């Protein structure tokens, strides 16, 4: 068997001796096998695409990851500022989303400080607020 491709020999043996009591025909067996293979690849890169090729959805670049990380960091920071603003306002104020969160938080903190004169300003808390935003 020198010079023969092992894969070809294995396939030839199966097709030549295919159990037709289980499989309808050799042709149907080949169609089923190819269909199974195509489905296992999720139709990726099997046919030529017209126009620009699609970006592979299975991979993410380092630049994409850094961008996502930066966006998440900003969203989390803004959410913390909004929650802190709401907490300082005793939950009475509705905190706006996005960049308005800082202004609302400062306004709520100022109003709370003006209304609650019995509690002095906590310099540690104000320093933390300034560092977050």
* The model's pTM: 0.34
Confidence of residue 64 (pLDDT cuts 50, 70, 90): confident
User: What token pair was written down for 55?
Assistant: 């970006």
Q: How far apart are CA 69 and CA 77, in angstroms?
A: 12
* Alpha-helix runs per DSSP H in 3-99: 6-16, 26-40, 62-88
pLDDT by residue (tens digit) across 84-123?
Answer: 887 777 654 444 444 555 666 666 666 655 655 555 677 7
Number of alpha helices (DSSP H) and beta strands (DSSP E) in the chain: 5, 0
Per-residue burial over 88-106, b if 16 or more Cβ lie within 10 Å, else e, is bbeeebebeeeeebbebbb
């Amino acid at each position: 068997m020198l010079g023969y491709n092992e894969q070809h020999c294995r396939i030839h043996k199966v097709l030549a001796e295919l159990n037709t009591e289980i499989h309808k025909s050799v042709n149907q067996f080949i169609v089923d096998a190819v269909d199974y293979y195509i489905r296992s690849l999720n139709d990726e890169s099997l046919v030529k695409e017209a126009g620009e090729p699609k970006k592979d959805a299975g991979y993410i670049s380092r630049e994409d990851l850094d961008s996502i990380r930066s966006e998440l960091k900003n969203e989390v920071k803004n959410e913390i500022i909004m929650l802190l603003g709401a907490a300082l306002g005793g939950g009475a104020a509705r905190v706006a989303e996005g960049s308005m969160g800082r202004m609302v938080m400062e306004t709520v903190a100022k109003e709370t400080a003006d209304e609650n004169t019995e509690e002095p300003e906590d310099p540690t808390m104000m320093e933390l607020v300034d560092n977050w935003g």
